[in-house]
Structures are given as structure tokens and as C-alpha cells.
Amino acid sequence: MDFDREIYLDHAAATPLDARVREAMDPFLADQFFNPSSPYAPAWETRHAFEAARADLAHAIGAKPAEVIVTAGATESVNLAFTVVGEKAHVVTTSIEHSAVLACAQAYAHTLVPVNHHGLVDPEAVRAAITPETRLVSIGLANNEIGTVQPLRAISEVVQQLRQQRLMECNTTPLYLHSDASQCAGQLDVNVSTLGVDMLTLNAAKIYGPKQVGLLWVARGVQLQPLVLGGGQERGLRSGTENVAGTIGFAHALQIAVEGRKEEAARLADLRKGLQRQLLAAFPEAVVSGHKKHHLPGLLHISFPGLDAERLVYLLENEGVYVATGAACAANKATRSHVLEAIGLPPEVADGSLRLTLGRLSTEENTARAVEIITRVVRTEYERVGS
């Protein structure tokens, strides 16, 4: 990709590796290649660097190092979180979760809490869905397709109240709140105390870190089962030689994301606002989905009723503008987005939906150029289909 000429508006699908992150990883891709379990001093240094990175990851989210399990990505983290659910237990999640959460939930008795037209979950609906057998509530902090940010703090309070109630009723079934915040670091506050969760999933690949690295933060006392058995690394929960370079890269990426969060979130919100305003001005019939106030600053989900999003993606790609139709994970499956169905977007609107996600590659200049190109392409398409 030519970063000067081409315009990347798919930061929610993948982010380029930050140069500072790359630099931090480089020694561990070169002469510090040791197995951190090896018994000589240079390998201990590798071990120390790895554990320091774990501590940095923990620190960035207000947690303790021993509570952070490094995984091979968000999907694995989510699967690991779901191991708290026993054989006959019940799970509560929402109808708009990422496929990783939905697939895990489907392995158990589960309830999908619906969302409103803005994709927002009602904490009282979560309360109503929790049964005495529920062990896990898993709700993503921000939706990856429409960007709606959930009232996690309020949901956490519901969960805490129900825990108290269980104590009084001598129901010893634990009840935990997990959140996949893969899309959020760098745009929203992902401090575990602020969020009020018991488990949190993060992903390096979405925050300008390396691919194939994620973490699961687990509050003290939460009992997980190992997903991968073997040498007993990661407190026996995730065996396999540690990913030293990847973890160090992740730690740097998360630190950078958290430190620059407020400024970058404000910048992206401004860019997104301009993008939305100008596209809606050009196409008053266009529909913006997601909650007006509670949304990811950099994500704009916009539908052009009557148009075919796949054609738009193709036409925009020809102009060097890269956007998504719905979630990238579902992109090569040619199925309609379950998220857009859940918020009740009519099919003829949903089919013309683009997800534009701004990020560090976005500038005022290239966003303005993107508006111009998108406007031209959408206009030509509307003329072609004759509406």
C-alpha cells in the first residue's frame, strides 16, 4: 500500500504495525531469539523482557501482571474466557457480538439479549436474562460493525447486585462479566476497574501492534480451564513457548494507545464528524447506524439504500479507497450481517452499507479526499441504478 496515495478506511479490520512497536520487537526477531525457559543468562534476559512486557500490559489497563494471560489473539482469549462456563451452566450475551463470542456461547445453554435500533443493550434486559445457572455474561465494549459502545459499567452493577443476591440465597454458582474490547484500546478507556469487568479481551493487531497476539485479563479468583495443554506456560492455562517478540510489541502498542487515547479519540471524532456531515449532506437518504453519542470515535457505519455495498467497495478500491462492508470477519462469507439484522435495518438499506473506520493513517487531507471520492462513486452508482 502506498500510504500517500491510497486511503485506508478499514482500521477496524487491521492496523499497520507502529514503527516504535516494530523497533521494540526487532532485537527479539534477531539476536535475542532465546527460549525464555532456557537456563542460561541470555535466555533469562529474554524471560525478564517478556515478563516486563506482561507487567506493562497489566499496568496499561490498571491490572496486576499475574492477572494477564498472553494468547495468540482475541479469538483465543474469548475462547479461554468461556472456559469458566461449566457443562450445565448458562451464558448471557447479546445478539450483536463478534462471531468469536457467539460461537462460544452457542456451545452452551445461552440467552442472546436483544439490542435497540442503535445497537444499545439495556442493562435491565441483561438482568432479566440472567438465570440462577448463569456463570458468564459476555458483552463487547464496542460493536465492531456499527461502533455502539455498551453501558458496561451499568451492566457490571447489575452483575454485582445479582452476585450479592446469590450470596444471600446460598447459590454458590459464580457469575462473571467478560468483555471483548478488541476494537477499543486507543479510543476508549479500557481500565478494568473503570469498566467493572472480571475478564477483558484485548488484541494487539487492532492497535498497531503485531498480529497473532492478544491477552485475557482475568480478575483474581476466576477459575479458568486450560485451552491448550503442555509445558504449563501462562500459569498452565496456555501452554507453548512464549511469544516474546509479539508480547513486547503488544505491550508497546498498548502503552502508546492508552497514553495517546484522549487526543487521538478527539482527533478521530472530529474527522468522523466531518465525514458523516458531508456524506449526509450529499446523500440525505443515507442512514447512519450506531448510537449517536455512545459510539467508537473513529467508526462510521453508513448505508446507501438501494445500492450494493460490494460494488461500492470495488469501485472505491479502484480509486484507492479501502473500506469494509460490515465486519471483515464476515466479509468473505456473503451472508447478511447479524448485527444489522439485530438493529432492524431493512435489507435494502443493509445491503448498501459501508463501514468506514478512521485511525492513525487518517488525516484531514486524506479524509477530505475520501469524502470527495465516495461522493462521486455513490453519485455515479445512484445514477446508474436510476434512482
User: What residues act catalytically?
Assistant: 329
- In the complex with its own copies, which residue's Cβ is closer, 240 or 347? 240
CA–CA distance, 163 with 152 (Å, rounded to integer): 16
Q: Which of residues 64-83 bind its own copies (CB under 8 A)?
A: 72-76, 78-79
- In the complex with its own copies, which residue's Cβ is closer, 240 or 344? 240
Secondary structure (3-state) at 149? strand
* Smallest separation (angstroms) from its own copies to the CB of 129: 21
* Smallest separation (angstroms) from its own copies to the CB of 244: 7
CA–CA distance, 292 with 280 (Å, rounded to integer): 14
- In the complex with its own copies, which residue's Cβ is closer, 162 or 242? 242
Phi, psi at 357, each rounded to 5°:
-120, 120
Task: Mark 176-215 with x for binding to its own copies (rule: CB under 8 A) and - for no binding.
Answer: -----------------------------x----xxxx--
Q: Which of 193, 194, 152, 159 is nearest to 173 (CA)?
A: 159
Q: Which of residues 288-317 bind its own copies (CB under 8 A)?
A: 310, 313-314, 316-317
Task: Mark 79-108 with x for binding to its own copies (rule: CB under 8 A) and - for no binding.
Answer: x------------------xxx--xx-xx-
Which residues fall within 8 angstroms of residue 264, CB to CB, at 6 or more apart?
A: 186, 187, 360
Secondary structure (3-state) at 42? helix
Among 23, 35, 262, 385, binds its own copies (CB under 8 A): 35
- Evaluate the CA torsion angle 45, 49, 55, 58 in order and state its sign: negative
* Smallest separation (angstroms) from its own copies to the CB of 117: 26
CA–CA distance, 321 with 273 (Å, rounded to integer): 19
Among 227, 265, 269, 368, binds its own copies (CB under 8 A): 227
* Smallest separation (angstroms) from its own copies to the CB of 159: 23
CA angle 336, 146, 9 (to 5 degrees): 95
Secondary structure (3-state) at 1? coil
Q: Which of 279, 278, 289 is nearest to 346 (CA)?
A: 289
Q: Which of residues 2-21 bind its own copies (CB under 8 A)?
A: 2-3, 6, 10, 13-17
- In the complex with its own copies, which residue's Cβ is closer, 43 or 219? 43
Q: Which of residues 322-381 bind its own copies (CB under 8 A)?
A: 322-325, 328-333
**What number of chain residues touch its own copies (CB under 8 A)?**
72
Q: Which of residues 232-291 bind its own copies (CB under 8 A)?
A: 232, 239-241, 243-246
* Smallest separation (angstroms) from its own copies to the CB of 167: 32
The torsion angle over the Cα atoms of residues 142, 145, 146 and 151, rounded to 10 degrees, is: -20
Q: Which of residues 37-66 bind its own copies (CB under 8 A)?
A: 37-43
Lookup result for grid cell 440462577 = 132
Stretch that binds its own copies, among 28-36, 156-164, 290-298, 377-385 (CB under 8 A): 28-36
* Smallest separation (angstroms) from its own copies to the CB of 154: 27
- In the complex with its own copies, which residue's Cβ is closer, 182 or 289? 182
Helices 309-318 & 364-385 angle (0-180, nearest 10): 130
* Smallest separation (angstroms) from its own copies to the CB of 67: 21
Q: Which of 174, 200, 161 is nearest to 62 (CA)?
A: 200
Which residues fall within 8 angstroms of residue 37, CB to CB, at 6 or more apart?
A: 43, 47, 231, 233, 241
